[in-house]
Structure 1
Amino acid sequence: MRTLSLPGIERSASNVVLGLMRIQESSDDEIRTLVGTARDAGITVIDHADIYGSRVHGCERRFGEALRLTSSEREQWVIQSKTGIVTDGPYFDFSYAHIMESVHGTLEALGTDYLDTLLLHRPDALVEPDEVARAFDELAAAGKVRTFGVSNHTPRQIDLLRTSVTQPLIANQLQLSITHAPMIAQGLVANMEGLDQATVRDDGIVDYCRLNDITIQAWSPFQSKFFDGPFIGSERYPELNAVIDRLADEYGVPAEAIAVAWITRHPARMQVVLGTTTPSRVTAAALGSELPLTRAEWYELVRAAGYTVP
C-alpha cells in the first residue's frame, strides 16, 4: 500500500481510504470485519461525516460502538470527518456555532478525543471566513482537530477561506472516476473549439491543488456519473470494460484495482475513498494502490471512457 506524508499528520496516510457512509445498519461484527479487512490491506485512513446515516452522527456512532478503540488502537488510524451539510433543510452551514457543535458531536460519537482531519463538506454560499477561522483556531488550540481541509471546493472558494484561515488546508475531497473526470479531461483538450469537454468548470482544480500541496481525495471512484450506478460491468460502457478486463487479466488483479489505479497513477498523489461495505471489494480495490499503469494504458482508459484525447 502506497502511503503519503500529509502536513500535520504524524503517521503515514494510505492512498486508499475506507469511507464509512453506509454502516448505519451494519452489526458490530460486520463493522469490525470491514475495518479489519481494510487494515489488513494496508489502509490507515478512515473517512466519516456528521450526516452519514439515518440520523446525524449515525454512522460515526456505529463505528464508535463497534470498535471502542483504545488510545493505542486510535493512534494506528488517521480518522477524518466532515461538517457543513444540514440535512433537515437541506442547506449548508459553515458558521462558528455549527462547526463547533458538529465536531463535539462527532468526537463523542466516535469515542475519540481528536480528529486527524476535519473537512468542510461542500461549499456554503453564505460562508464567513472569519467564523470558520475562529472555529478552526479553537479546535486546533484545544487539540480536538489536528488538520483541516475541504470537500468539493473550487480554487477561488479555497482562496476565500484562506483570507482568514491560517491553518493549511491539506485536502479537497472531489468526485472522480474514469468516467467522471471533467477536472482531468478538460485539460486534455484545452483551447479546442466546439467540444463540451473543453469547458472549464472548476477553474483548474487539479493543478491548483498540486501547486498548493492540497491532496485530492477522490470519492465515488466506481460511479459512472453523479450517483447513477457503477461503470464496472455496466453494459453502458462496453469498450471501457473491455479495456479494464484486459488490463485486469494482464496484471492479475480484479477490475476494481484497475479503476483505483487509474486515479493513483496520477502524479497529483491522490487518495481514493471507497464507499463499499463489502470486505472483498475493499481488498480488491486496495490492490490498485501501487499498480504501475503505463502512460499508454492510462490514456487508453481515458479514450475508452469516451473522452477525447487529441
Structure 2
Amino acid sequence: MSQSTRMRLGVALPTFGPDANPDGIIRAGRTAEDMGYDSLWTGDRLLAPAVPSAPYPGRGGVMPRTYENHLDPLVALTFAAAHTSRVRLGTSTLNGLWQPPIMLARSLTTLDLVSRGRLDVGLGLGWMPEEYEAVDVPWKGRGARLDETLDVLEGYWAGGSFAHDGRLFTVPETEVRLGPHQRPGPPVLLAAFTPRGFARIGRRLDGWLPGAMPLTHLMDMWGAIVREAEKAERDPATLRIALRVNLELTDTEAEPEQVPQRGTLQQYVDYARAAAEDGVHELFVDFGQTPVTLDERIDLAGRFLTGVRAG
C-alpha cells in the first residue's frame, strides 16, 4: 500500500485524563517512537466548567470530562522531547492568544531548540469564552489578534534587531540573537473552518489542522485553501494537512455515515487508508476520549499503526 506509507502517522500523548502524568508521557512517547509513529501531539485546555457556555465542537456538544485533568501542552512536549529522539512534536491545538505574543515566541523558540528542530506549531482560537475571560483576553476580535500574533512570531524568528508597533501589541526594539533550530521558524499550522481562516492559511501559514470529517468534505475544504495559496502566489505543494482523529470506539461496526465520528478500530484504519489515498499528508489519532487504560491505549496504537501500514 505505497500511498498509505507516504502519509505520516501520529498519536496524541496522554496529556488529558488519568494518565496525564510523567510516567504516562514517557511510556506513551517512547513506545510510539519505537513503534514507528512519526509524531506526538498535545492539546490545550485551561478550564473545565461543569456546563460551558458554548457547546463543545463535537461529541454531541458535550465536553469530554477528561479535560478536568489537563497538562500544559508546551511543558508536556518539552518533557516528551527529553525522552524521545526522532518523532516530531506538535500542538493540536495551542490556543496561542492566551499570552502576549513575545512570550509565546520565546516559549516556542525554546522548545524548538531543545527538541533540535522537531516542533510543529498548531494554533487554534478555542471554543470556550470562559477561558478567554480567565486570562483577561477579549473573545471578540480573535482573528485580528491572531494575525498580529503571527506578525510578532515571524519578526522574532527572523532574528537581529526586532520591534513591533501594532494595534494590540507593542514590543520595544530588542536584539534577538537566539533563534529557533528550524529556519525561518517551526512550521505553523492552523485549525480553521471559515473562508477567512482558509485565506489566512493560504496566504501565510504552513498547513491546516482539521478534525476528522467525511473525506469528500475535507478535500473540498482543502481545495479552498489551495486556491487561496494560488491567489497569494504561493506554491500549494509547500502546504500540508495534519488531520486529527478523535476515536470513539464501538464494539460493533458503526453505520458508514457515522464514521469517522465513531466506529470500530478497523473502520478507523479504513478511514485512515482512504485519507492517504485522497492525499492527506499526515493523520494523528487520539485515544484519550475513549475510556481505556494506558496499556489498552498503547495496544490500540500498535494495532492501528499496523493496520494502516499493512498491505
Provide TM-score, normalisation by structure 2. Answer: 0.57
> What corresponds to 1:286 in structure 2?
305
Structure 2 counterpart of 1:274: 285
User: In structure 2, what is the Cα distance between the partners aligned to 1:254 and 1:83?
Assistant: 26
Matched, 1:159 2:199: yes
Q: For 1:270 and 1:209, locate their aligned partners in 2 and report how far apart those are by CA, in whole Å.
A: 19
User: 5+ unaligned residues in a row in structure 2: which ranges?
Assistant: 47-66, 127-141, 160-178, 231-235, 289-296
Q: 2:155 aligns with which of 137, 144, 159?
A: 137
> Retained in 1: the 8 A contact 2:29–2:80?
no
| CA deviation profile, 1:21-70 (whole Å, cap 9, x unmatched) | 6446424333222222312221121223444865885244345446634x
Distance apart, 1:232 and its partner CA:
4.4
SS in 2 for 1:125: helix
1:220 aligns with 2:245: yes
CA contact (8 A) 2:202 2:225 kept: no
**Distance between the aligned counterparts of 1:182 and 1:284, measured in 2?**
26
Greater percentage in helix: 2
Conserved? CA contact 2:102–2:153, under 8 Å: yes
- Report what 1:40 is aligned to: 34
1:61 is the counterpart of 2:75: yes
The one-letter amino acid of 2:302's match is T
Q: Which amino acid aligns with 2:29?
A: V
The 3-state SS of whatever aligns with 2:90 is strand
2:217 corresponds to which letter in structure 1?
Answer: M
How many Å apart are 1:269 and its aligned residue? 3.5
After superposition, residues 1-310 of structure 1 pair within 5 angstroms as 15-20=8-13, 22-23=15-16, 25-26=18-19, 27-51=21-45, 58-65=72-79, 68-69=82-83, 73-74=84-85, 76-81=86-91, 85=95, 93=97, 98-105=100-107, 112=115, 116-122=119-125, 124-127=142-145, 129-139=147-157, 141=159, 142-143=179-180, 145-154=185-194, 156-160=196-200, 165=204, 169-177=205-213, 180-181=214-215, 183-184=217-218, 202=221, 204-205=223-224, 208=227, 212-213=236-237, 214-220=239-245, 222=247, 230=248, 232-233=250-251, 237=255, 254-266=266-278, 268-276=279-287, 278-291=297-310
Q: Which structure 1 residue ranges, 5 or more long, are not aligned?
A: 5-13, 87-92, 188-201, 223-229, 293-310
Q: Are the aligned partners of 2:11 and 2:41 in contact in 1 as well (CA < 8 Å)?
A: yes
The two structures, once aligned, show a CA RMSD in angstroms of 4.3
Distance 1:15 1:116, change over 3 A: same
Distance 1:54 1:128, change over 3 A: same
Deviation at 1:263, TM superposition (A): 1.6
SS in structure 2 of the partner of residue 217 of structure 1: strand
Query: What is the total number of aligned residue pairs between the two structures?
Result: 234
Alignment partner, residue 9 of structure 1: none
How far residue 218 of structure 1 moved from its aligned partner, in angstroms, is: 1.4
Aligned in 2, Cα 1:235/1:256: closer, same or farther, shift over 3 Å? closer
Further displaced range: 45-54 or 273-282:
45-54
Cα distance in 2 for residues equivalent to 1:84 and 1:22 = 13
Q: Which amino acid aligns with 1:143?
A: P
Shift of 1:116: 2.6
AA aligned opposite 2:305: A
Q: Which amino acid aligns with 2:27?
A: T
Distance 1:128 1:206 in 2: 18
Query: What whole-Å deviation, never above 9, does each CA across 1:121-147 have from its counterpart, x for those lacking one?
Result: 148333463542232231354216422
- 1:132 maps to a residue whose letter is L
For residues 248-291 of structure 1, the C-alpha deviation after alignment (integer angstroms, 9 at most, x for no partner) is 9xxxx95542232122221x233111112500111122124445
Q: Deviations over 1:143-185 (max 9, x none)?
A: 164222212244543434666x4xxx322110124xx446248
User: Compared with structure 1, are the counterparts of its residues 99 and 56 closer, same or farther at alpha carbon in structure 2 (3 Å cutoff)?
Assistant: farther
Equivalent AA in structure 1 for residue 104 of structure 2: S
1:297 aligned partner:
none
Paired residues of 2:206 and 2:240 also in contact (CA < 8 A): yes
**Residue type matched to 1:116 in 2?**
L
Inter-partner Cα distance in structure 2 for 1:36 and 1:280? 14
Q: Does the CA-based 8 Å contact 1:24-1:54 persist in structure 2?
A: yes
